[in-house]
Amino acid sequence: MGVSLSDQALTHRSARGANNERLEFLGDAVVGLVVAELLYERFPKLDEGALTRMRAHLVCERGLAEVARALRLGERLQLGPGEQKSGGHRRDSILADALEALAAARYFESGWEACRGEVRGWFEPVLGGLRSDDFGKDAKTRLQEWLQARALSLPEYVLVDASGPEHAREFLVHCRVAARGLQTEARGGSRKLAEARAADAMITQLQAEERKANPA
């Protein structure tokens, strides 16, 4: 009996046999479409910019990994010996790719409507914790206001690296919140974009820690 697509979706390239890389390629589009549909329905008053920021927040690597953890995908991943030893089942990038690959597998195995319903079920709990007001503003402003509301010092942005040719520069930025001992990093085609992405990652991390400290 051959390996099912769902099993392949949870097989990292470090393991033997067919892996999830091609499924992840298609799953990225599947997840993006379903999440866009959910947001369009749930927030009818938000403009395109806010919806785009909200979608980016949900389908970024960290956001996808959190959904994968809620589904306990890490326990089902097939990894090579090296990744097993290094804790690959906990790594955001591996979890995010597996979630997208699983969406594609469900599409092939069950058809669009069944796949759509399942993926909606993955993300609907997350949508309940989103505040539309937060996404009407850029990430750096939202992070600053979040910290100020808790009487915490403002974040520090540090340009770590700028590489590549002049027409295709890539900037690496660290965002630090000293009061919480946290740091995120992000890359972008401009320093401004890299800072915005690092700020967005920091907001996600701070909110996750706050939820853990104050569970409902």
Name the pTM for this structure.
Answer: 0.66
Asked if 185 is an active-site residue, the reply is no
pLDDT band at 215 (very low <50, low <70, confident <90, very high): low
Rounded Cα distance, 36 and 33, in Å: 5
Q: Pairing between strand 182-188 and 156-163?
A: unpaired
Catalytic residue among 24, 28, 134, 195: 28
Angle value at C-alpha 196, between 36 and 89, nearest 5 degrees: 65
Give 96-124 pLDDT, tens digit per residue.
999 999 999 999 999 999 999 999 999 99
What's the pLDDT at 1? 47
Residue 214 neighbours by CB distance under 10 Å: 7
Q: What is the pLDDT of residue 183?
A: 96
Q: Are 126 and 64 in contact (CB under 8 A)?
A: no
pLDDT at 208: 84
Domains along the chain? Answer: 5-135 (1.10.1520.10), 138-213 (3.30.160.20)
Q: Which strand (E) or helix (H) includes residue 45?
A: none
**E strand or H helix at 184, and its extent?**
strand 182-188
Assess whether 118 carries a catalytic annotation.
no
Render pLDDT for 171-205 as a digit per residue (tens, 0 to 9): 999 999 999 999 999 998 899 989 989 998 999 89
Catalytic residue among 66, 100, 134, 200: 100
Over the Cα atoms of the chain, what is R_g? 18
